[in-house]
Amino acid sequence: MVSTHPAGTCPHKDAIWGVSWTPDDRVLSVSADGTIKQWDSGSGQVTRAGPRHPLGLTSLSTSQDGRYALFNSVEGLTQMWDLQSGNIVGKFESYARPTSGQLEPSWSVSLHPKATTYASCGGSGNVLVHSTEPVTFGQHRATLSTGRARFGLCCAYSPDGSRLALALETGQIYIFDAQALEVTATYTSHAMSIRTLSWSPDSSLLLSGSEDKRLILHDVRVSPSGKPGSGAVASLTGHSSWILSTQISPDGRLALSGSADKTVKVWDLSARAAVSTVQDTGEVWSVSWRPNPSGANVSGAFVTGGEDGHLRWWRAGGAA
Amino acid sequence: MGENVDRLRPTVEDEYDDTTSEGSTVNVDPKDEAVDGIEALVLSFLTQLDSALKPEETQEVGSGPTRSKKKIELRIANRTKQARDGTTTVRALKFPQRFRYASSRPFAQLFRVMDIVHEAVINEVPVTKRDIYYRHASLFKTQATVDRLVDDLAATFNVGRADLNVRASPKGLLCGSCIQIRLEDGNVITPSDSEACLIPHAEDIAVFDVDPELSWVLIVEKEAVFQTLCSSEFTRLPEIGRGIILTGKGFPDVATRVLVKTLASNLPETIPIMALVDGDPSGLSILSTYMDGSTAMQHENDKLAAGKRIKWVGIHLSELSRLGVGKDSLLPMTSHDEKKAMSMLLHDAPPYPDTWRKELVHMLHTRRKAEIEILASAHSDNSKHSGCPVQPLLSYLVNKISLFSTNATID
């Protein structure tokens, strides 16, 4: 892996906890310093910054077309940024006392690929679905319940929008049907906290990264008979500390993982092995592939954000 | 409704106003203020009671005794709320009230405490809060009730708890031969470098004698850490010069806080005063108690809050990876820790320093906290000097103290 671009001139002042490379070739980053920034991938520089929040931003999720960015702060202030207009189009205080329905401070948030709703998880172990309409932003629409009162660390909509995955602090993964609002599959491949989830682009695989230092690939295809997929099909080992973030590549062949062992690994999913390891200076909290690689010189590019607040740009050495 | 309500010590105030209006400084003994305050409250109660029991003048002849509609109300300070202009707000004890149980209990508790305190001040025999509780445990039910009433009375009369002649059993420990404490009764407490001694009550202390060789002061949160340092004679290590260590064994009592405040106010700026607490929300809360005081003792803050002189040495979550401590050694946060961390983050009167908030946010994000003992699992190759102690806690502190001592002399 080769690093491109020198470190940006406006790094974040604290750890970068979420990154997302959007189809318009820009990157969004959220940080413990309370800011969300937009970067141009050509120059590696910051082009825009959102309003500064007094507390750290812990979660970031973008719509499939890259138009909307949903982000959440540590105490549960969820906001949505319309990147076309540049305005904040939604603000929700999930920590405020609820007037009706079940509410809890949001921890991790996930925007529906078409930005029609968003999902959040937190202390209750349930997934709450919220409205993204400007007037009713954040309003509770549905609850997906696991029946287990354990902290939900991570939730993610599948790319086709039909399902939601939830990972708990105790290591279980729940898959919900987003329409029927029911659990369709449960996996207990990890016994320790799962901090990151990634769906494959065709929504057939789910990759989970855990504090047990492993990534596990799950087959989650829904067969016509309704039988859930076979579950854990591969275990990727090699990191020496917690897995903090992971993402499957746009062509589904590779996966990225950032770890508390201060390295980033690129894995070949069919070979179930790491093909590259990159050394960073601190914990690597967030990773994101470049979507839709087109043209010979941009295959396998990705961006990482870590403890030192610098965004790092990488591409595979030797163009494909 | 309000006609029988009495404000606190109106007559007492008037009396003293006359003497001070001439411009001379009259030293009012706070103990006298306490006694007068108690007597005024009792008088107020009796006056209201008498007035409530008087038959109504418009009562028809022969209609028999009727219940008086009048209520008795006593006002005492409410220490948990501060009015906008900084004066203490009051809360009212009313009798009778529509409770399921007898509403005379709060009054009975207040009067019993006042009775014991009055006796203690007049007879000059100190009592502890535990004594008060045990004298009538069935009335008070919990120690906390007594604690609250004693502090409320002190706040109401605007005196220190010690002026009510009520004291707590000393809890804090002190170690280091650079300091001597001379007591009012003539005894001298000389802590050694290897054995701790109890920090005596502030009112028993006449003067502190500090050796000019003293070069640092360290406050530690936990007794276990304190004992480790004591038994290694940490206060006498050649690398860092002589110092003193003290601990409040968790949340510090008043005696410990007074000692820290006295040191902070009187030691030259070149001597760093440092605090080592756990890397968790309660550690920061303890640090804040030393620096800014506690809500319960707000009214005595100028004697207890040591301010920015106290430096936060550690444990910082952010330095652990540099020290070689693995993430798996960290302890999970409990939901109590979470709530405390959130409330400290959202606290804005005044807001906590940015460095603290950053640590709290990181703690919440990793959902982990670090206790001081975690240093034992650090594989450090930080020993710079050959004579440096191998034990990770000691070498960690030696590095920090050297750092803070250098910074202090530069300032």
Which residue would you say has higher pLDDT here, A175 or B373?
A: A175
Q: Is residue B9 part of a domain?
A: no
User: Do B357 and B300 share a domain, yes or no?
Assistant: yes
Interface predicted TM-score of the whole assembly (ipTM), two decimals: 0.90
Q: By three-state DSSP, how is residue B22 classified?
A: coil
Indicate whether B256 and B125 sit together in one domain. no
d(CA B351, CA B333): 23
Establish if B183 belongs to a structural domain. no
Same domain, B225 and B312: yes
| Of B84, B107, B85, B82, residue with least CA distance to B96 | B107
Q: What is the average pLDDT value for chain A, to the nearest integer?
A: 89
| Interacting residues of B340 by C-beta distance below 8 A, sequence separation 6+ | B281, B282, B285
Total structural domains in chain B?
2
Q: Do both B219 and B362 map to the same domain?
A: yes
Q: Per the domain annotation, does B206 fall within a domain? A: no
CATH of the domain at B274: 3.40.1360.10
Task: Give the residue-averaged pLDDT of B183-194.
Answer: 88
For chain A, the maximum distance between any two Cα atoms, rounded to a whole number of angstroms, is 57
Residue B134 catalytic? Answer: yes
Least confident range from A97-101, B67-71, B185-189: namely A97-101
Give the Cα separation of A119 and B15 in Å (integer). Answer: 68
pLDDT digits (tens, 9 = 90+) for B35-58: 888 888 888 888 888 887 776 555
Residue type, B147: D
B367 vs A contacts (CB less than 8 Å): 151, 153, 169, 193
Give the pLDDT confidence score for residue B17 in this predicted structure. Answer: 36
- pLDDT (tens digit per residue) in B62-81: 555 556 666 777 777 777 66
Q: Compute the distance between CA of residue B375 and CA of residue B369 in angstroms, rounded to an integer.
A: 13
CB contact under 8 A, B367 and A15: no
pLDDT at residue number A168: 94
CB nearest B346 (choices: A75, A193, A211)? A75
Length of chain B, please?
411
Q: Which domain holds residue B121?
A: 93-168
CB B228 within 8 A of CB B221: no
Q: Compute the distance between CA of residue B204 and CA of residue B190 in angstroms, rounded to an integer.
A: 15
Q: Which residue of A has its CA nearest to B318?
A: A307
Q: Interface of chain B against chain A, CB under 8 Å?
A: 321, 326-328, 335, 342, 345-346, 357-358, 361-362, 364-365, 367
The single-letter DSSP state of residue B298 is: G
Q: Cβ distance A76 to A90 under 8 Å?
A: no
In this structure, the answer to whether residues B224 and B369 fall within a common structural domain is yes
Is the Cβ pair A15, B346 closer than 8 Å? no
Q: Does B127 lie in the same domain as B226?
A: no
Task: Answer with the residue of higher pLDDT: B296 or A212.
Answer: A212
Q: How far apart are CA B181 and CA B304, in angstroms?
A: 18
Task: Fill in the DSSP letter of residue B169.
Answer: P
- In a shared domain, residues B227 and B348: yes
Confidence of residue A320 (pLDDT cuts 50, 70, 90): very low
> Do A74 and B328 count as a contact with CB atoms less than 8 A apart?
no
Determine the pLDDT at residue A209.
96
Tell me how far apart the terminal alpha carbons of chain A are, to the nearest angstrom: 13
Of the three residues B168, B185, B205, the one that is the final residue of a domain is: B168
Residue B7 has pLDDT above 50, yes or no: no
**Sheet containing A106-111: order of strands:** A106-111, A117-122, A127-131, A140-144
Q: B230 and B162 in one domain?
A: no
Asked if residue B57 is part of any domain, the answer here is no
Q: Are residues B251 and B342 in the same domain?
A: yes
- For residues B306 and B260, the answer to whether their CB atoms sit within 8 Å is yes
Percent of chain A past pLDDT 70, that is, above it, reads 92
pLDDT, residue A14, reads 92
pLDDT digits (tens, 9 = 90+) for A240-279: 999 999 999 998 999 999 999 999 999 999 999 999 999 9
**Nearest chain A residue (CA) to B346:** A75
Considering the domain architecture, whether residues B133 and B218 belong to the same structural domain is answered as no
B377 shares a domain with B228: yes
Give the least confident one: A258-272, B36-50, B87-101, B103-117: B87-101
Separation CA A41–CA A26 (nearest Å): 5
The residue from B168, B199, B226 where one domain ends is B168
What's the pLDDT at B21? 39
Tokens of B122: 């007049």
Is B204 contained in some domain? Answer: no
Q: Decide if A75 touches B, using CB distance below 8 A.
A: yes
B79: buried, middle or exposed (CB in 10 Å: 19+, 13-18, 0-12)? Answer: buried
In the block, residue with structure tokens 């207890």: B304
Cα–Cα distances in angstroms (integers) from residue A80 to residues A25, A88, A92, A117, B365, in the given order: 19, 6, 9, 11, 21
- Every domain of chain A and the residues it spans: 1-21+240-320
The alpha-carbon gap from B156 to the nearest alpha carbon of chain A, in Å, equals 35
Per residue, the 3-state secondary structure of A84-115, as one string, reads CCCCEEEEEECCCCCCCCCCCCEEEEEECCCC
- Most distant CA atoms of chain B, gap in Å: 100
Residue B11: is its pLDDT beyond 50?
no
> How is residue B392 written in tokens?
């990770």
Q: Which one is catalytic: B133, B134, B352, B396?
A: B134
* Chain B interface mutation, best of A17, A53, A55, A168, highest count of B Cβ atoms under 10 Å: A55
Bridge partners of A288?
Answer: A303
Query: Residue B239 — very low, low, confident or very high, per pLDDT cuts 50/70/90?
Result: confident
> What DSSP letter does each residue of A120-174 carry, written as one string?
EEETTS-EEEEE-STTTTT-EEEEE--S--S-EEEEEE-TTSSEEEEEETTS-EE
